[in-house]
Structure 1
Amino acid sequence: MTDKNPSTDKKKQATNWPKYSILMSVYQNDQAEFLDRAIASMFAQTVPFDEFIIVVDGPILETVQAVLD
């Protein structure tokens, strides 16, 4: 019997997907919880990204920095 796990099939077909990058900005008033959820969401996408760039635009809260670390 063949394993038909959708995530396994998607990974095998990854070479057929277009390449793309994600660019996300982080600002002073951003909340760590939302940033953490946004990053997790990017990693959970069906089509894998080729690069993920996070730009820190000015000073940020220590809690936000902890998410980035």
Structure 2
Amino acid sequence: MSGEGPECREDVCITCADLAAPGTVVRLFGDDMAIVLAENGRLEEVSVALVTASVGDVVLLHAGEAIAVMSR
């Protein structure tokens, strides 16, 4: 969805500049949690409370939190 915040184009956390990694949303849960396929090939449970993500979206992950939607 457009207009919901800045689109992230960097591979670093937008809040602290630490390294962040992309992952693809595989499944969403009703409690702002998701299963994401990380770039290392592992499935991780992460919070999506800060973003509006859908299954198939690539999100930027940092410290167990999706901090931006990189592409849909």
**Smaller-chain TM-score bracket:** under 0.3
- Which structure is richer in relative contact order (CA contacts within 8 A, separation 6 or more)? 1
Query: Which structure: greater helix fraction?
Result: 1
| TM-score normalized with structure 2 length | 0.25
| TM-score normalized with structure 1 length | 0.26
